[in-house]
Homo-oligomer: A and B are copies of this chain.
Amino acid sequence: MAQAGARPWARSDAKHQAIVRAAREVFLSNGYLGTNMDLIASRSGVSKQTVYTHFGSKEALFLEIVGSMTGDAGDRVHHERPELGDGDDLGAYLRAFAERQLRIVTEPELLQLRRLVIGEVGRFPELAKVLYERGPQRAIDEITAMFQRLRERGLLSCDDPAAAAEWFNWLVMAAPLNRAMMLGDAAVPDEGDLREHVAEAVRIFLAAFGPAPRS
């Protein structure tokens, strides 16, 4: 988006990062309209003019920040995953996967990003689409690939792995995520609750899609 050709900013990279960090904090806690560029400047220990030299406008800075955060978050979830070994337990494998995803998605910073983007759907619809694609959709795609392999090995009985992946994803995520969206970060389950929740989600999923013939 920004003028990518001319950036002989070798020296200024530290300032650039400082602005990004400060903008992240301020936008996340105050929202787009509630954010004040003077505050970002002072929080990053930089003059206001420098902020405007690096990012042309409040809107450009906002888009940059949110865009990069959604990318980073997606990358952190996406990750080398072991294949299910021949003797391994399917339930345990799914639980480990789901616990990892859920732990990342319920990090306070990501929850707040989600709230921010949802609140700005009216003003920045593209942003929310990108967050959906790099968040839930990407997770579902990955689960789909995993389910395809499991199905070939006869460990899952589903006609449509993509649909099964979506059910799995929301079985795991929906309750904690929706509670946290509205009740605040304090409503995020602790490690024990998280494991219980995931275990039950996997049980339900396997009751409907497990290797036994479907009813």
Chain A residues near B (Cβ < 8 Å)? 29-31, 33-34, 112, 115-123, 125, 128-129, 131-132, 136, 163, 166-167, 170-171, 173-175, 177-179, 181-184, 200, 203-209, 212, 214-215
Task: Give the CA-CA distance A119 to B77 in the complex, in Å.
Answer: 24
Most buried by B among A171, A173, A203, A206: A171
Q: In the bound complex, do residue A122 and residue B30 qualify as a contact, i.e. CB atoms below 8 Å apart?
A: yes
Known contacts A167-B204, A173-B174, A208-B203; A182/B118 CB under 8 A: yes
Among candidates B34, B178, B205, residue contacting A174 with C-beta atoms closer than 8 Å: B178
Q: Chain B contacts of A208 at CB under 8 A?
A: 203-204, 207-208
Known contacts A122-B31, A200-B163; A178/B182 CB under 8 A: no
Task: Give the CA-CA distance A171 to B120 in the complex, in Å.
Answer: 26
Min CB gap A160→B, angstroms: 10
Secondary structure of the A side of the interface?
Answer: helix
Q: In the bound complex, do residue A31 and residue B33 qualify as a contact, i.e. CB atoms below 8 Å apart?
A: yes
Q: In the bound complex, do residue B207 and residue A215 qualify as a contact, i.e. CB atoms below 8 Å apart?
A: yes
Q: In the bound complex, do residue B125 and residue A184 qualify as a contact, i.e. CB atoms below 8 Å apart?
A: yes
Least CB separation from A186: chain B residue: B125
Q: Chain B contacts of A129 at CB under 8 A?
A: 182-183
Q: In the bound complex, do residue A29 and residue B136 qualify as a contact, i.e. CB atoms below 8 Å apart?
A: no
Q: In the bound complex, do residue A132 and residue B182 qualify as a contact, i.e. CB atoms below 8 Å apart?
A: yes
Q: Chain B contacts of A118 at CB under 8 A?
A: 115, 118-119, 181-182
Known contacts A182-B132, A207-B215; A115/B125 CB under 8 A: no
Q: Chain B contacts of A125 at CB under 8 A?
A: 184
Q: In the bound complex, do residue A121 and residue B175 qualify as a contact, i.e. CB atoms below 8 Å apart?
A: no
